[in-house]
Structure 1
């Protein structure tokens, strides 16, 4: 009889990436797979596009806010409706285990799983658990963390550090194909700049304000976000993209240095590929501060250099880039000495052993 697994997680791409990394392996092993997400969240777009053959079940969910909003009074009822929506899906699909990546939509699923006596594994990407995962912890069977520091703030009897679960396709990149796509054949290091899925205005401005000097030392791949390509800057050694999808492994293969935000999934992918990083985390005003903690952890381990957004200007940016270049060999050595994360096969075996 086929084993069954139910995946959940959404609200941002980061709450889906680990799921999309694990799903192909469970498919290969012959499991029946179902995904629970929201009706209008980014998870629906990602899952239905990448895995159109997998049943996608939408449930009601409410946003869990740390600030005052009148919706805080109505959304608990949406969450409760979501619990019963999820319970209905669980009873129909009869999963042997549920894997939750977090996000608001996952809370009612994890609560319903407890009611249905289905084992639940949670994966937390950031140094400090997000609010959704904090609420889900009491209902979880096992909690996997990405950062070793996170285990200290969770129940020790059911928590362990598995590291980041990296998409296998990232290791299939071909430097020659990356060079063909970019036309970069000069004997200069390649600098990749990523500002997030929508780009980052201040990072884009710092890059372009220093472009002439940067191009003396680097060939640049600049993922600048939707609508942010500046055609007036087109020149040799500087390639701009709104975003990169299927070809990303090839671009990463040819990359020597990365400048990025400090989202957990992305920076652990760079770590796995041994790419020295300059991290510019989202400020506390723009987030709950998780990216700052992520960046601090990487700096502590010697994997990255950090530049706070409040300190970001053309001069500080160029100074940090020069520091990044000077510390390349040290960073790579530190990365090679770091603890190894669970592979997808490792995670598959643990989850299989948890299933009922």
Structure 2
């Protein structure tokens, strides 16, 4: 307690001290009342009983079992995530990928072969060669045609047409071809040799207009058909004679297609024996056939008139070529098979190299 100023009297000092002690005592009483009120708020009347009841209630609730299923519903993670379907989807994807790859491969092969193979969706695998089956079908077709023709010949009309049976047969007969007229200018050079010629028109045609044929097959694919060629003997006698001999002996394996220029011609080689007369200078007549008059003309170059070296080389034109008149010697024309020549043009290139092999499977003399 700080000392009062000396100026105060003893009684004033006692009075002031007494006043301070009363203030302190009153403050302590106020603090006690606040603590008592706070304790009263925490412990209301009957608070112990309520705590006891609350503890009993907690014990009862702790052991209580609900009669209603309040558990949350379960879920299948595999169904929601789709794990089980991943394998199936992977298999389907791989199958679709393989099918697409196979489709692209077959489309590429079809474009390269120009449709000469069967599509991949056919189950039957094509054989290595279709020639045997084609020949069997042709023979069966020929038999069916003969049987059909026989049945037609036996048909009699129920209506009187006024024509006798003999007149009907004569009308059905084909008219014979006109007699062969040999070019006088071409035959004049043989007049001095006094060569005896056949009298009948049939023998003249066999000698001066022989017909040969070639069956062409597309390698590893299918047969293309038959070419029927008429040769002109007076144009190049030795060349025609060599082709006729080879075809009569069916030497189809010796004929080889070496080069093919689309929209121009195809070149073929025939190996010659060492003692062949074609190694010597040739007799020819380049005016017998006009190259600009028609397509599908057989010819050889005038560079070979001094004799062929190792093989007979001739070409078949795909269109009229008037520009080669005087440069090549024509000695034959294609009578049947022009569509085959149009078809094989797609298997050549601009430099003459073949994209697919062409093979002669048979040849002969008609």
TM range (shorter): under 0.3
TM-score by structure 2 length?
A: 0.18
Instruction: Give the number of the structure whose alpha-carbon radius of gyration is greater.
Output: 2
TM-score by structure 1 length?
A: 0.19
